[in-house]
């Protein structure tokens, strides 16, 4: 049933939007293009990005400083051109959303506002497989507040979070979890954990690095206090691309919420009055500090417009079909699937454990002998994400075929 011809037929019946993207060459083997299954790590470049970026560069060449107001996409309000599309992507109100900085920087800025340990309520809950940057960030926040990070940061198996909040929630100041876990690919129950955190009296934030552009999100309705995500994985905005931030409406304009400020925190109408005291708007824009890097914003704008055009509902439907198909292929092989089987508890990524040899060596062989690009994460996991915008059923088939060859040899 799972032949190459069958995969190709599925691609004819259920095509994505691969022609919008540059797909790296396979560099050898039977196929011209790589089977690119690493969009959970770094998304592919949209073909539109280069032209859009050159337009913005041309504005600078032609206009110099006057580009702030006169460029086709003027630089002064430029970040605002990304707000509506970013808000739609994560199910937020535009005033709750801003694109700025990088992910971990944003997590710190948001913890300035929403990690306010007091009395015996000091703990930060993260998952035991939290991405290291998040772990370093929360530990350094604890130290910043004069607390012992080993006592303050509680690392939990995701399955234990609700129970812990019910038992020990009175000591928790902040719950900060990954919406989709980077290692296992598990999609957390964001609304239920958010509710439980709030019932325990804690604030709740989400790292959506592996969720934004991967699964539909309804941040405003689900009600977390804040969220942050990057744009270089499923959002295809390039290495180190600027991240996005969500601050729930209930906190906007609240003078009791502390923020670090700079000139981009103040409302644009009065920014150039050069007064010493800021007048922040009652929007997430108030969390901005510096004037934004336009040539980093451009690729995010281009990418968000692609998501806006095709919509997360359709993309998610194709994502479930592709990942379900890949799962069926992998079930024929002697390996362990780490990611939950239930499509409602995962995004597009499947994480595999081969059981023999190094995952890094395996990923290398897949790349250099078969032109199949995945990635490996310590200790022994290979991650593969058939992302719905540009991946094909044939990409999935190539991964399974290559794995079958390599596993056969290793055994």
Catalog residues that contact ligand PLP under the rule CB under 6 A: 102-104, 131, 133-134, 178, 182, 207, 209-210, 230
CB of 131 to ligand PLP, least distance (A): 4
Rank residues 234 and 390 by Cβ distance to ligand PLP and give the closer one. Answer: 234
DSSP letter, residue 338: -
DSSP letter, residue 184: T
Rank residues 171 and 375 by Cβ distance to ligand PLP and give the closer one. Answer: 375
CB of 53 to ligand PLP, least distance (A): 20
Backbone φ, ψ for residue 396 (5° rounding): -65, -45
CB of 389 to ligand PLP, least distance (A): 19
Cβ atoms of 14 and 381 within 8 Å: the answer is no
CB of 182 to ligand PLP, least distance (A): 4
Cα radius of gyration (the chain): 22
Q: H/E element holding 51?
A: helix 47-63
* Cβ neighbourhood burial of 127 (10 Å; 0-12, 13-18, 19+): buried
CB of 9 to ligand PLP, least distance (A): 35
CB of 132 to ligand PLP, least distance (A): 8
Rank residues 236 and 392 by Cβ distance to ligand PLP and give the closer one. Answer: 236
Rank residues 241 and 406 by Cβ distance to ligand PLP and give the closer one. Answer: 241
Distance separating alpha carbons of residues 84 and 96, to the nearest angstrom: 10
Rank residues 43 and 178 by Cβ distance to ligand PLP and give the closer one. Answer: 178
Cβ atoms of 246 and 95 within 8 Å: the answer is no
Backbone φ, ψ for residue 262 (5° rounding): -150, -170
Q: Compute, in degrees rounded to 10, the torsion defined by CA atoms 76, 79, 80, 81.
A: 100
Q: Which residue is nearest to ligand PLP (CB)?
A: 104
Rank residues 114 and 131 by Cβ distance to ligand PLP and give the closer one. Answer: 131
* Cβ neighbourhood burial of 166 (10 Å; 0-12, 13-18, 19+): exposed
């Amino acid at each position: 049933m799972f032949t190459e011809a069958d995969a190709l037929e599925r691609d004819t019946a259920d095509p994505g939007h691969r022609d919008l993207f540059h797909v790296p060459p396979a560099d050898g083997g039977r196929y011209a293009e790589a089977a690119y299954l690493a969009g959970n790590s770094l998304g592919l470049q949209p073909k539109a990005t280069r032209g859009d970026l050159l337009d913005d560069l041309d504005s600078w060449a032609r206009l110099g400083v006057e580009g702030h107001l006169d460029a086709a996409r003027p630089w002064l309000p430029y970040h605002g051109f990304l707000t509506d599309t970013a808000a739609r992507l994560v199910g937020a109100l535009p005033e709750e959303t801003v694109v700025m900085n990088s992910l971990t920087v944003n997590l710190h800025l948001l913890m300035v506002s929403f990690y306010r340990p007091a009395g015996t309520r000091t703990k930060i809950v993260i998952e035991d497989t939290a991405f290291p940057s998040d772990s370093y960030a929360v530990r350094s926040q604890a130290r910043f507040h004069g607390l012992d990070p080993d006592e303050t940061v509680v690392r939990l198996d995701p399955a234990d979070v609700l129970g812990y909040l019910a038992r020990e929630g009175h000591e928790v100041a902040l719950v900060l979890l990954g919406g989709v876990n980077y290692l296992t690919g598990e999609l957390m129950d964001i609304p239920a954990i958010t509710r439980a955190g709030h019932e325990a009296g804690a604030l709740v934030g989400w790292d959506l690095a592996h969720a934004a552009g991967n699964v539909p999100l309804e941040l405003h309705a689900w009600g977390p206090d804040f969220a942050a995500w990057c744009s270089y994985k499923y959002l295809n905005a390039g290495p180190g691309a600027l991240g996005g931030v969500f601050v729930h409406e209930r906190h906007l304009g609240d003078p009791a919420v502390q923020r670090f400020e700079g000139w981009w925190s103040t409302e644009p109408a009065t920014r150039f009055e050069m007064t010493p005291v800021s007048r922040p708007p009652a929007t997430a824009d108030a969390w901005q500090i510096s004037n934004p890097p336009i040539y980093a914003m451009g690729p995010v704008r281009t990418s968000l417009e692609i998501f806006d055009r095709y919509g997360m509902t359709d993309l998610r439907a194709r994502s479930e079909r592709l990942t379900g198909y890949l799962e069926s292929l992998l079930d024929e092989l002697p390996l362990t699937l780490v990611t939950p089987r239930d499509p409602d508890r995962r995004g597009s990524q499947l994480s595999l454990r081969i059981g023999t040899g190094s995952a890094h060596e395996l990923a290398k062989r897949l790349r250099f002998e078969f032109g199949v690009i995945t990635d490996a994460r310590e200790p022994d996991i290979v991650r593969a994400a058939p992302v719905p915008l540009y991946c094909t059923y044939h990409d999935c088939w190539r991964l399974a075929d290559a794995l079958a060859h390599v596993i056969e040899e290793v055994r």
